[in-house]
Chain A
Amino acid sequence: MTTTTGTHPTRRLILQGAASVALLGLGNLPFGAVPARAAANDKYPEEAFKQKSEADAIKALYGKTAEPSDKVKLDAPEIAENGGVVPISVTTTLDKVTSIAFFVAENPFALAASYKIPDGTIPAVANRLKMAKTTKLTAIVEADGKLYSATKEVKVTVGGCGG
């Protein structure tokens, strides 16, 4: 598990940026480059939660795309025991993690949850998600300003008829 002590310079910059966002936001002034990037981490991502497709939600949340990484470990059942409550979790060995988010491709709104990971926190998040039907599940870890992802298909079945 990654443990971070002390404040990394980059991290401090982003945090400073976050404070600016709040102030600027109050004043209804346009965002600068740095605060806009930090917005994914620090402001309630209202627009992202409104997006129907996974691609649009990722774009609204981060403004960029993620690359698959085996350093992101997504744990979810192959076949859900109850599509109404699917236990999932993600851990990562990546450094400087700032956020973790879950996307359920086939849900009416793809973004299911987005967590801010404060500095010094072990980047491990567990969640329970509702899935109406078989779907691709994606976890995105934001680390050192880059996006890394892991995906898994979770099958939701009417069940029965086992041998």
Chain B
Amino acid sequence: MGIRRRDFLKGAGLAAATLSLPRLARGTDTASIYDLERFGNARILHITDTHAQLNPVYFREPSVNIGIGEMAGRPPHLVGRAFLERFGIRPDSADAYAFTCFEFEKSAGRFGKLGGFAHLKTLVDRLRADVGEKRSMLVDGGDLWQGTGLANLMQGRDMVEVANLLGIEAMTGHWEFTYGEQALRDNLERFKGEFLAQNVFLTEEAAFNDALAFDKATGRVFKPSVIKELGGHRVAIVGQAFPYVPIAHPKRFTPDWSFGIREEELQKHVDALRGTDKIDAVILLSHNGMDVDLKLASRVTGIDVILGGHTHDAVPQPIAVKNAAGTTLVTNAGSNGKFLAVLDLALDKGKVSDVHYHLLPVYSELLKPDPAMAELIGRLRAPYVSDWSEKIATPDRLLYRRGNFSGPMDELICTALRTELDVEIALSPGFRWGVTALSGQALTMEDVLAETAITYPETYVQDMTGAQIKDVLEDVCDNLFNADPYYQQGGDMVRAGGLSYTCTPDAAIGSRISELKLGNGKALSASHRYKVAGWASVNGQQGAPVWDVVGKYLRSGRMLQERLGSGVTLKGVEGNPGIAGLG
């Protein structure tokens, strides 16, 4: 610990300065990286996409995060060195480790794990105490209730207890919806904060059948916003849930609800907040994803800051976007509990006159865990932890998931599917959650669940023609690389095992995927039928849960002998700073 602390402090002065907007440099007295200069009269703390990771984690940021068209080379589509240069972060610093994939394995040993709710609680309490009573609030951007075996088993109830102790006052949702309406409503009964979503409406059928809604007149299922008095000013937090829940997930979880970006409804609501409610600031708590938020900020007026999530982009500084009525700042606060965003606002009558923004890495080595939260986490985990703690395999390589096309963790899952279900080709979803395991780290069932725990984990085996396989790849690829962010759903490319292909991200749908080949090098035939296995299908499936399939494979000791590449060759994106070597 002593050595590590020294490592942290070495880079602290410079790193801290780069965390705020350039024009708003911090004071020189940096006794600790968490001592923030007092600024403004209201502080909003923001976490997002923690994916229920109660304890500190390793999480490698992506080495491939390509931006296409207007987004090429712009944050968040920068990785590795390009990212460090853009934000002025020293390559050997703790921040380089927290924000990028740069020398990840080396730095993981030096700086340790990030996040953990007991550590987060200590930091949140400290930053709230720093500004005093009635001057701060804590908000969560969603994907709080999903991502671990525990959260899946408890349908997010564990995270509601944690959220209440942490003091989350408002949240919106994404994976929260995949527990279905009843579980969601049960959890919200217990949640002490507000669940906000301006963009979830009853379907016409549900409205006709008099289904439950926050506002029958508009059909809004949830409260769209909350107004909070901070530092003597009125701040509105508007919730924006993930717009594509019934498309990205099985529709059966949310049969009565319709989502979407709902720009027009949002504009009306913001106008009403400014006009009728005379608020001083409007904050959008968004689960749109950063590219969508950047576009939205250019079209919807009257929003001061968008606190963003979904795409798991840890962006150290807000991006300023001009629109017809002014400027909106857009942020994205990373994932897995690694970061706590601090938005300090200088509020005047009816406007925000200035802001300071810090995206603070939650270095678990530098923060003392809060005893009450540590106790709660221990109590929640106790009934299950022994069942899941058996060491079932010790891989000889770094296993991570995040990246546009593939990662060794998903290669492992695909190999498990191919081996256990005896198929030629395996497909695995391109989720962005799922933590990183270091080389030589023993894996437990809890680790396997942290990559797979969803409410539709059933595996399938089906016959698909080569043409059908290509269509699926094209469809998912368009969700990632459509030139218009409003047509992107977020998430990464579906992972393919036993199949290699070439991808041209900036081509149109139908022509991005080419040169499909089987593992043996033979070209995929459009008309031939192949046995394909997968999981996380939006259609109902009957196979064993994927965690059992992966667990069985790991227990068998048949760990992959040879190192498989990602099997994806990229075309037309040479020199794109969203690529730091194919991972």
Q: B491: which of A80, A134, A163 is its contact (CB, 8 Å)?
A: A163
Binary contact track B98-113/A, C-beta < 8 Å → 1, others 0: 0000000000000000
> Is B489 in contact with A162, judged by CB distance below 8 angstroms?
yes
Docked CA distance A125–B475 (Å): 31
> Is A161 in contact with B248, judged by CB distance below 8 angstroms?
yes
Cβ contacts under 8 Å, A162 to chain B: 174, 242, 244-245, 247-249, 431, 489-491
Cβ contacts under 8 Å, A80 to chain B: 247
Docked CA distance A158–B247 (Å): 8
Q: Is B507 at the interface (CB under 8 A from chain A)?
A: no
Docked CA distance A155–B492 (Å): 18
For A75, A77, A162, the residue with the greatest tally of chain B CB atoms inside 10 Å of its CB is A162
Binds A, one of B258-266, B346-354, B525-533: B258-266
Docked CA distance A79–B312 (Å): 22
Q: B487: which of A81, A155, A163 is its contact (CB, 8 Å)?
A: A155
Cβ contacts under 8 Å, A87 to chain B: 204, 258
> Is B433 in contact with A157, judged by CB distance below 8 angstroms?
no
Q: Is A119 at the interface (CB under 8 A from chain B)?
A: no
A163-B312 contact, Cβ under 8 Å, with A79-B489, A153-B487, A157-B475: yes
> Is A81 in contact with B258, judged by CB distance below 8 angstroms?
yes
Q: Is A30 at the interface (CB under 8 A from chain B)?
A: no
> Is B486 in contact with A78, judged by CB distance below 8 angstroms?
yes
Cβ contacts under 8 Å, B429 to chain A: 160-161
> Is A161 in contact with B258, judged by CB distance below 8 angstroms?
no
Binary contact track B529-541/A, C-beta < 8 Å → 1, others 0: 0000000111000
Docked CA distance A82–B245 (Å): 12
A161-B491 contact, Cβ under 8 Å, with A77-B260, A81-B251: yes
Q: What is the total number of residues of chain A having a CB less than 8 Å from a CB of chain B?
A: 18
- Which residues B530-576 have CB closer than 8 A to chain A? 536-538
Cβ contacts under 8 Å, B246 to chain A: 81-82
Closest to A87 in B: B204
Cβ contacts under 8 Å, A158 to chain B: 471-472, 475, 538
Docked CA distance A82–B247 (Å): 8
Q: Is A159 at the interface (CB under 8 A from chain B)?
A: yes
- Would you give the shortest CB distance from A18 to chain B, in whole angstroms? 33
- Would you give the shortest CB distance from B170 to chain A, in whole angstroms? 22
Q: B494: which of A77, A78, A157, A161 is its contact (CB, 8 Å)?
A: A161
Q: What is the total number of residues of chain B having a CB less than 8 Å from a CB of chain A?
A: 43
Q: Is B60 at the interface (CB under 8 A from chain A)?
A: no
Closest to A157 in B: B475
Docked CA distance A160–B310 (Å): 15
> Is A81 in contact with B310, judged by CB distance below 8 angstroms?
no
Cβ contacts under 8 Å, A75 to chain B: 264
Cβ contacts under 8 Å, B260 to chain A: 77-78, 81
Docked CA distance A91–B538 (Å): 34
- Would you give the shortest CB distance from B298 to chain A, in whole angstroms? 16
A159-B247 contact, Cβ under 8 Å, with A78-B487, A81-B258: yes
- Which residues A71-117 have CB closer than 8 A to chain B? 75, 77-82, 87
Docked CA distance A77–B261 (Å): 8
Q: Is B478 at the interface (CB under 8 A from chain A)?
A: yes
> Is A81 in contact with B259, judged by CB distance below 8 angstroms?
yes
Cβ contacts under 8 Å, B308 to chain A: none
Binary contact track A125-162/B, C-beta < 8 Å → 1, others 0: 00000000010000000000000000001010111111
> Is A157 in contact with B486, judged by CB distance below 8 angstroms?
no
> Is B536 in contact with A79, judged by CB distance below 8 angstroms?
no
Docked CA distance A52–B249 (Å): 34
Docked CA distance A153–B478 (Å): 14
Cβ contacts under 8 Å, B509 to chain A: 134
Docked CA distance A80–B243 (Å): 11
A160-B536 contact, Cβ under 8 Å, with A75-B264, A78-B261, A82-B251: yes
A157-B479 contact, Cβ under 8 Å, with A81-B259, A162-B248: yes
Q: Is B476 at the interface (CB under 8 A from chain A)?
A: yes
Binary contact track B423-438/A, C-beta < 8 Å → 1, others 0: 0000001111100000
Q: A79: which of B244, B249, B472 is its contact (CB, 8 Å)?
A: B244
Docked CA distance A159–B174 (Å): 15
- Which residues B188-243 have CB closer than 8 A to chain A? 204, 242
- Would you give the shortest CB distance from A60 to chain B, in whole angstroms? 29
> Is B247 in contact with A163, judged by CB distance below 8 angstroms?
no
Cβ contacts under 8 Å, B244 to chain A: 79, 162
Closest to A126 in B: B204
Besides the known contacts A78-B487, A163-B432, 14 further A-B residue pairs in the complex with CB atoms under 8 A apart:
A78-B261, A78-B486, A79-B489, A82-B246, A87-B204, A153-B487, A155-B482, A158-B472, A158-B475, A160-B248, A161-B429, A161-B431, A162-B244, A162-B247
A: which residues have CB within 8 A of B? 75, 77-82, 87, 134, 153, 155, 157-163
Cβ contacts A to B, 29 pairs, < 8 Å: A75-B264, A78-B261, A78-B487, A79-B244, A81-B247, A81-B258, A81-B259, A81-B260, A82-B246, A87-B204, A153-B487, A155-B487, A157-B475, A157-B489, A158-B475, A159-B247, A159-B248, A160-B249, A160-B476, A161-B479, A161-B494, A162-B174, A162-B242, A162-B249, A162-B489, A162-B490, A163-B289, A163-B310, A163-B433
